[in-house]
Amino acid sequence: MKVIIAIDSFKGSLSTLEAGKAAAEGIQAVYPEAEIVISPLADGGEGTVDAILLATKGERKVIPVHDPLGRNITASYGIIRETKTAVIEMAAASGITLVSENERDPFYTTTLGVGEMIADAIKEGCREFIIGIGGSATNDGGIGMLSALGVKFFDKDGNIVEKGGIGLRDLEKIEVGSMLSALKECRFHIACDVKNPLCGENGCSAVFGPQKGLTAENIPLMDAWLSHYAELTKTVNPSADETYPGCGAAGGLGFAFLSYLPAELSSGIELVMRATGLEQHMKDADIVITGEGRLDGQSCMGKAPVGVAALAKKYGKPVIAVAGGVTEEASSLHEYGIDAFFPIVRTPCTLGEAMKTENAYRNLKHTAEQIFRVLKIQALYGGNHV
């Protein structure tokens, strides 16, 4: 029997690798001879670098960058030397968790640190980039990132505009002649699961701005600044399209990637599965185990387990999911390729107790064991080949 285990992290409890190992121990208690492949998993957000580096035996590099407010910090990203690939989470340098709640203000937060990570990776010889852009603290249209890569943004007097969203207010001219020449050799694969345009009622300012500290009265201001930025962008790239789905991701960072760099936006889970080689393992599997911390009605919207299930169904494989918690709405997941799902909590307890790493590990291990005991009974008495 060949079992593929591709479980996303149980945030706050188990990493993707810990969850995979727990399930593997439970399976091996029933089928000690089983061939088990643990494929690290993430959906393009937090944990993406870890998952891909685990699967590819890449390395991590720590560098000095500027945080969303321009303060000096360190951030890390992954390098896969064999394929000259950098794996970056923008949140490591420009994430909302790097600023306290009372510091959040998209007028002054910048994506500069993201560009600094990209520039460093280029110096390291990387030419392929996998970048997760979830969890941003910014709404600067990506001008911070682009400035770190050599794009110049000027006001009407020929001065470089301020960093952060406030720089968009004074923006009157864009020059791309000083961009890093190596960017022409690069390809950027951007993990992006939102479909919002740059501007308008569904744009980044209106939809995501408030959670980043943008006040209701300032939403129209920033939206107008971003619209002007989009028009100026067309003077250096006539094909720039601020309405393209995903341009509003990460406060307009999606627009910056598409308009200034050789980039494509893709589903986060699809990018991770491709980078980890999950499909190749899937072809001759007998059964697939997936899961995440919570399965609910939102799990079908770009989340990792549904992505795994879709890939498994491409090859006609049965899929079982495990989760720390399961809501009633999770039954809709059966329509997305998950044949059965199981919560792992075994006794009444508090959420804090359930989330303790040792408890979650043990519960996941025992749940996997019981699932495979049922499968073994079916194989012995039901004539099933599994």
- Distance from C-alpha of 306 to C-alpha of 36, rounded to nearest angstrom: 20
Q: Each residue's pLDDT tens digit in the chain (386 positions)?
A: 999 999 999 988 999 999 999 999 999 999 999 999 999 998 888 889 999 999 999 999 999 999 999 999 999 999 999 999 999 999 999 999 999 999 999 999 999 999 999 999 999 999 999 999 988 999 999 999 999 999 999 999 999 999 999 999 999 999 999 999 999 999 999 999 889 999 999 999 999 999 999 999 999 999 999 999 999 999 999 999 999 999 999 999 999 999 999 999 999 899 999 999 999 999 999 999 999 998 887 666 667 899 999 999 999 999 999 999 888 888 889 999 999 999 999 888 888 888 899 999 999 999 999 999 999 988 887 755 55
Q: Which two tokens stand for residue 209?
A: 């701005």
- Distance from C-alpha of 375 to C-alpha of 378, rounded to nearest angstrom: 5
Domain ranges of the chain: 2-39+281-381, 48-269
Phi-psi region of 190 (alpha: psi -120 to 50; beta: other; left: phi over 0): beta
Architecture of domain 2-39+281-381: 3-Layer(aba) Sandwich (3.40)
> Cα separations (Å) of 360 from 13, 102, 138, 355?
7, 34, 34, 6
Q: Could you write out the DSSP letters of every residue in 118-136?
A: HHHHHHTT--EEEEE--SB
3-state secondary structure (DSSP) of residue 228: helix
Does the domain at residues 48-269 carry the CATH identifier 3.40.50.720? no
- Distance from C-alpha of 124 to C-alpha of 117, rounded to nearest angstrom: 11
Which pTM value belongs to this model? 0.88
Under 8 Å between Cβ of 7 and 292: yes
